[in-house]
Amino acid sequence: MTTADRPAIDKESLRAKYREERDKRLRPDGNDQYLRLTGRFAHYAEDPYTPVTEREPKTDHVTVAFVGGGFAGLVTGARLKEAGVEDVRIVEKGGDFGGTWYWNRYPGAQCDTASFVYMPLLEETGHMPTEKYAHAPEILEHCRRIGKHFGLYDNALLHTGVQSLEWDEARSRWIVRTDRGDAFTAQFVAMGIGPLHVPKLPGIPGIEEFGGHSFHTSRWDYAYTGGDPSGAPMDRLAGKRVALIGTGATAVQCVPHLARACGELYVFQRTPSSVDVRDNRPTDPEWFAGMATPGWQQRWLENFTANQTGALVEDDLVMDGWTDLATRVRSRIMALPPEDFTPEKMQAAYEDSDFEKMEEIRARVDAVVADPETAHNLKAWYRQLCKRPCFHDEYLQAYNVPGTHLIDTDGKGVERITERGVVVAGREYPVDCVIYASGFEVGTDYTRRAGYDLVGRGGVRLSEHWSEGMRTLHGIHAHGFPNAFLVQPTQGANLISNIPHNLTEAGRTIAVIVKHALDHGFDEIEVTEEAEDAWVDLLLSGPGMLLGSPDCTPGYYNNEGQDPGPRGRLNVGHPQGAMAYFAYIDEWRTSKAFDGLEFRRSRHDPGSPENSENRETGR
Ligand code: NDP
């Protein structure tokens, strides 16, 4: 469609509508509106998938302990093994590797960033994803494949939750204590606890009173529903009345399966998701064989990230809804005459592109959903990146399936849960089962989500070091916490559209640093205070949060609409974007200069007095 063919968009009334819808949803309790899974939900702390096996507590010593067996632990472990660091121990609270893909087995779960860039280490393990957007069982299997390929099972402690990490200054090592009675030491620790691993419930009055069955999507109860994670029909739901609470990315994927299975399905919506075309398809092995030449996955990763972050690239290898979003914004901005290259005009061009995209998404609802009132209620009135963009070709269609009902709460949320069912606007919907698709803790403190607080040099806790907000070098190192590494996106590339890209780069960086320390006999590595300060200053020189504007409808992208204060200002990435960060960190680690890090030989070794020979900055 050319610019001339496009229907004119009334921007002022759209802005007013967006504000009106946001204001309906703002609430003073913010993150406090959610509950942890306790009481009748306390069994969520247990693993329903794998029986726990008894073992003796560990009291030995390892070179590297990694907290978390999800993608972060797997890619870091893999890079360490590749570098020749053999003695790596992953500690994981689940019964197997996989992290989010271990716990989330709800029907329809699949990646919604293309498998070729989302699934790490495909080239190294020789796996061809079977679909452009692989389903959860294949991703979980891939996690196991990485574990086996790189020998990460050998020393792993599964069904083990870390309870404390304490720096032993006298011996230059970490003491790791777990809920299985382990008290072992590690020269280095790294942590990849995942951004979304603690399930949360909406604080709806009466939630404990419901007399029927209920569960959270991250612990799908197939014993109750029938079916299995690979999509077998949930035959035990035939004739059942089921309530699903929440309409985020998880609900978008499981609603089509529930619609097919339930007698009556009631989907309770507070805010609609924006749902664009998915266009999933099986991978053509011939095409894959031709494309997968050496270095292919790194090329794809870089191409996706470049397209995603608005860099000027000629081709778009992934070609999907994510890259379309970014490509549109870029071409709008590039179409501006040179004199209009001002921040205001560029923001306006971005907003135009956003309005246009969201109008298309709303038009798609009308085109797909037969009932006009349901279609009206399924339209998202906010800017595209206010919430996680969703892509699906069966979600909207599910509302045409007889017995599927959208119960819109006009932004207010479910009013109460009774012994019999769910109440909205004074009307009770009696149901047999309530399923909570209510998401995960995001805006809470790192140490709360980790379940432990690092105790670093001089007994200082990580929560104390970060009392004014996160402070790191590269999102990886924190001053006062020698030999400890974080594997996560914030203060690094902060690439939200493809989290694994952040993790694979961090894993690579950490492997190079650890190898360097081991090869040169250094016992301690620590970021200097100056380097950490300089990195934080660099982060603060940027434009701030690109996601999560206070103008957005509330959600976890914008701290539920509440001002996160100066602490929130630090939850950012490199000011020049993800590509700049990846280029910078590649050069930083390849140079082996390690600017900002201090490498030390132990002060406590006999015959190894602290002197200039035992201490090197940046090398
Ligand atoms: P979300 O936090 O995105 O969604 C929670 C849902 O619960 C929202 O619709 C929320 O409404 C709703 N809700 C909360 N309180 C109430 C209430 N009182 N009454 C009614 N509804 C309520 O969780 P998800 O599990 O859907 O997704 C979390 C994240 O996990 C995603 O954003 C994505 O990053 C990731 N994910 C990724 C997938 C993938 O890559 N394939 C698949 C699934 C998830 P409101 O919007 O108004 O707050």
What pLDDT, in 10s, does the model give residues 322-349?
Answer: 999 888 998 999 999 999 989 899 999 9
Please give the pLDDT value at position 3.
52
Distance of CA 38 to the CA centre of its chain: 23
CA angle 417, 31, 361 (to 5 degrees): 80
pLDDT at 298 over 90: yes
User: In 153-267, which ranges are continuous DSSP H helix?
Assistant: 222-225, 249-261
Tell how far the Cα of 438 is from the centroid of ligand 1, in angstroms.
Answer: 5
89 falls within a domain: yes
571, amino acid identity: N
Give the tens place of pLDDT for each residue, 396-418. 999 999 999 999 999 999 999 99
Select from 148, 175, 376 the least CA-distant residue to 269: 376
**Residue among 25, 200, 247, 495 whose CB has most ligand 1 atoms within 8 A, to mutate:** 247
| Contact assessment for residue 386 and residue 560, using Cβ atoms and an 8 Å cutoff | no
Atom 22 (ligand 1) nearest CA: 246
pTM for the predicted model, two decimal places: 0.94
Mean pLDDT of 205-225: 95
Tell how far the Cα of 91 is from the centroid of ligand 1, in angstroms.
Answer: 28
Q: How confident is the model at residue 382 (pLDDT cuts 50, 70, 90)?
A: very high
Show Cβ contacts of residue 155 under 8 Å, excluding neighbours closer than 6 positions: 62, 87, 88, 89, 90
Domain count, the chain: 1
pLDDT at 543 over 50: yes
Does ligand 1 have an atom closer than 6 angstroms to the CB of 278?
A: no
| Bridge partners (DSSP) listed for residue 275 | 390
Please give the pLDDT value at position 308.
87
Atom 32 (ligand 1) nearest CA: 388
Give the tens place of pLDDT for each residue, 473-518. 999 999 999 999 999 999 999 998 999 999 999 999 999 999 999 9
Atom 24 (ligand 1) nearest CA: 439
Give the tens place of pLDDT for each residue, 571-588. 999 999 999 999 999 999
pLDDT at 465 over 60: yes
Give the tens place of pLDDT for each residue, 161-193. 999 999 999 999 999 999 999 999 999 999 999
Q: What is the mean pLDDT of the chain?
A: 93
pLDDT at 370 over 50: yes
User: In 369-525, which ranges are continuous DSSP H helix?
Assistant: 372-377, 395-398, 446-450, 462-465, 499-519
**For 449, which DSSP code?**
H
Does ligand 1 have an atom closer than 6 angstroms to the CB of 585?
A: no
pLDDT at 227 over 80: yes
**For 133, which DSSP code?**
S
Tell how far the Cα of 258 is from the centroid of ligand 1, in angstroms.
Answer: 17
418 falls within a domain: no
Q: How is residue 396 written in tokens?
A: 């909207």
Cα distance between residue 132 and residue 282, in whole Å? 6
Tell how far the Cα of 350 is from the centroid of ligand 1, in angstroms.
Answer: 26
Mean pLDDT of 226-239: 96
Q: How many residues does the chain have?
A: 619
Question: What are the DSSP calls for 268-336, one per residue?
Answer: EESSPPPEE-----B--HHHHHHH--TTHHHHHHHHHHHHHTT---S--SS-SHHHHHHHHHHHHHHTS
Does ligand 1 have an atom closer than 6 angstroms to the CB of 247?
A: yes
Domain that holds residue 504: 61-198+442-531+575-617
Mean pLDDT of 533-551: 84
Number of the ligand 1 atom closest to the C-alpha atom of 217: 25
341 falls within a domain: no
Please give the pLDDT value at position 607.
47
**Residues above pLDDT 90, as percent of the chain:** 80
Cα distance between residue 406 and residue 275, in whole Å? 15
340 falls within a domain: no
Atom 5 (ligand 1) nearest CA: 438
CB-based contacts of 428-433 (< 8 A; 24+ apart in sequence) = 429/241, 429/243, 429/266, 430/241, 431/212, 431/241, 431/242, 431/243, 431/264, 431/266, 432/212, 432/213, 432/240, 432/241, 432/242, 433/212, 433/213, 433/214, 433/224, 433/237, 433/240, 433/241, 433/242, 433/243
Q: How is residue 586 written in tokens?
A: 């590649």
Does ligand 1 have an atom closer than 6 angstroms to the CB of 437?
A: yes
Give the tens place of pLDDT for each residue, 70-119. 999 999 999 999 999 999 999 999 999 999 999 999 999 999 999 999 99
Q: How confident is the model at residue 610 (pLDDT cuts 50, 70, 90)?
A: very low
613 falls within a domain: yes
356 falls within a domain: no
Mean pLDDT of 4-17: 84
Give the tens place of pLDDT for each residue, 14-44. 999 999 999 999 988 888 888 877 777 766 6
255 falls within a domain: no
Q: What angle in degrees, to the nearest 10, is found between the helix axes of 499-519 and 71-82?
A: 40
Tell how far the Cα of 246 is from the centroid of ligand 1, in angstroms.
Answer: 6
To the nearest 10°, report the CA torsion of 242, 409, 361, 325. Answer: -100
Q: How far apart are the first and last CA of the chain?
A: 56
**For 57, which DSSP code?**
P
| Bridge partners (DSSP) listed for residue 34 | 202
| Contact assessment for residue 121 and residue 146, using Cβ atoms and an 8 Å cutoff | yes
**For 229, which DSSP code?**
T
Cα distance between residue 211 and residue 214, in whole Å? 9
Tell how far the Cα of 273 is from the centroid of ligand 1, in angstroms.
Answer: 9
The neighbour count for residue 521, using CB atoms within 10 Å, is 11
Does ligand 1 have an atom closer than 6 angstroms to the CB of 270?
A: yes
Burial class (CB in 10 A: 0-12, 13-18, 19+), 515: middle
182 falls within a domain: yes
Number of the ligand 1 atom closest to the C-alpha atom of 203: 18
pLDDT at 545 over 90: no
Q: How confident is the model at residue 548 (pLDDT cuts 50, 70, 90)?
A: low
Tell how far the Cα of 311 is from the centroid of ligand 1, in angstroms.
Answer: 30
Please give the pLDDT value at position 4.
54
Residue 472: give its domain's CATH number: 3.50.50.60
